[in-house]
A and B are shown apart, each in its own frame.
Chain A
Amino acid sequence: MDAEAIELGADGVVGVRLDVNYYEWGSDTAEFIALGTAVKAEDGTSYRNNQGKPFTSDLSGQDFWTLMQTGHVPLGLVMGTCVYHIAHRGLAQTMRTAGQNMELPNFTQALYEARELAMTRMQDEATELGATGIVGVRLEEKSHMWGDHTIEFLSLGTAVAKSGRDHTIPEPRAIISLDG
């Protein structure tokens, strides 16, 4: 998708939708689809990121406009993953002896570590792009059939940076919609 955007001379891609499909005909095969709309600034300013590539973001047109009003620009979609195996069998003994009102600290620790790893990797990607922050962070969890109790943590967000341009956040009007 990046390559297509560069060919078009775009500044960035908005409304990116990512999808992963697994098909019956390829048990070890996964299909990744990335789809978005390439955009270009009308005033000729370049919005490409610090690696000279068009920014990518899953922001809608409306969100993109709102972000620019706050004096920030999107830099790219950043992501971190971590695949974790929880050896829960070993914990079965602990579970049997654990009473009510008792936390399972090993479990908690393991899940916490895994998520932090995923998020740190995402944050590292953002730092590479020179971002000041990440908005819209989503933490997704999937259990996979790769083995018992393997969990994949996926952390996704849009890296942003201050644009350094003058901006005012407009004062919204209070309305009461009569459309139900």
Chain B
Amino acid sequence: MTSVPDGENTGGLPEAAGRRLGSGAWSSGLSVADFASCLSMGMEPLGFVQGYAAMHWSWYSSTYYRTQTMGGLGRVPGPAEQGQYSEGWQCPHGFVGGEHRMYGYNFEQTMVEDNWNTGWGLAFHRMVEEASALGAHGVVGVADAMTPLPGTGAVEFSIKGTAVTVPGAPRPDPPFSTFLSGQRLVKLIEAGFVPVSAVAACSSVQMISYCITRYQMAGTAAGNWSGAMSGGVAGVHSIVQVGKALRAARHLAREQMRSQLGHDELHGATLESFEKEVGEGDLTIQCLVRGTRVRRFKPFDPLPEAEPVVRLS
């Protein structure tokens, strides 16, 4: 059931996990309400399962520093790989100066994305492995987190859930998984969908601003200032480079997510976006998308109309 950890990152379960999972009572992260819903569906908890991976981490790749020291005069950092997002801008002013950013770039940081995919993937597969070892049909109520380990420059990916069995059904390999649990899962099945897997994707885009963007971010773009004093109201502009970088990050996350779906659909997606200023007027942007990959197993059966209610207290 368990394999001795071999030090390589191939996901051997620790010996303690084997002992716990093999013993009598099951444990579960399910609340009582979710537990009741599971039982009503004909699903039984088998045990609390978890997977972890600690990774060396940084939010932006070292190519940023290289560009900085070259005074922003360098070419687009790194060769643009097949399908990797990158866009460039060139200064229209025609003068060169130390502070003046002649070139600007938006580019996808594939190293950050690969690092994230590795960490999340390892943690996820370990959790699913624990569930398989228990003979589970699936894992419900999956919760994932990314915690920095202070003072180490590392982060820990953790993914936990409750392994369940469905008596009377064939065992899928690998077991299914979903962020849902309880009544939401019941309703998903009633709607005709079966969960296939919890999925997540991360995109990372670095924006290195060129002169125009810098001026716009500081509110000093040419033609910007007129205001009431000169009787005009002109001078507000769309900061094009930033908009493109932020949209690119979201599109990349969505498309990476889509590439994991096969011919199935994504349900209940959540999107989180983080921006951080790294140096004046430059941004690093990360988007995380999570959801459950679902497959239709029966045609949609219209529900009886729900009763509208109003609470009296």
Contact = CB atoms under 8 A, between A and B. Distances in A.
Contact of B32 (A67, A112, A138): A67
B19 A104 contact: no
A102 interface: yes
Interface stretch (B51-59, B229-237, B260-268, B289-297): B51-59
B27 interface: yes
Contacts of B61: 100
Interface in A6-59: 59
Contact of B115 (A100, A135, A143): A100
A111 B115 contact: no
Interface residues of A, number: 57
A176 interface: yes
Tell me the interface secondary structure of chain B in the complex.
Answer: mixed
Contacts of B115: 100-101
Given A91-B152, A174-B303, A99 B56 contact: yes
Interface SS majority for chain A: mixed
B52 A134 contact: no
Nearest to A65: B32
Interface in B17-47: 17, 19-20, 23-33, 35-36, 39-40, 45
A122 interface: yes
Contacts of A166: none
Interface string B270-313: 00000000000000000000000000000000011011111100
A49 to B, nearest CB: 14
Contacts of A3: none
Interface in A44-96: 59, 63-64, 66-67, 69-70, 88, 91, 95
A111 B52 contact: yes
A67 B156 contact: no
Interface of A: 59, 63-64, 66-67, 69-70, 88, 91, 95, 98-105, 107-109, 111-113, 115-117, 119-120, 122-124, 126-127, 131-139, 143, 149, 157-159, 169, 172-179
Given A107-B54, A107-B154, A134-B48, 10 more contacts: A104-B54, A104-B55, A107-B152, A108-B54, A112-B52, A132-B24, A134-B27, A134-B28, A137-B29, A174-B307
Interface of B: 5, 7-9, 14, 16-17, 19-20, 23-33, 35-36, 39-40, 45, 48, 50, 52-56, 58, 61, 111-112, 114-115, 118-119, 122, 149-154, 156, 160, 183, 303-304, 306-311
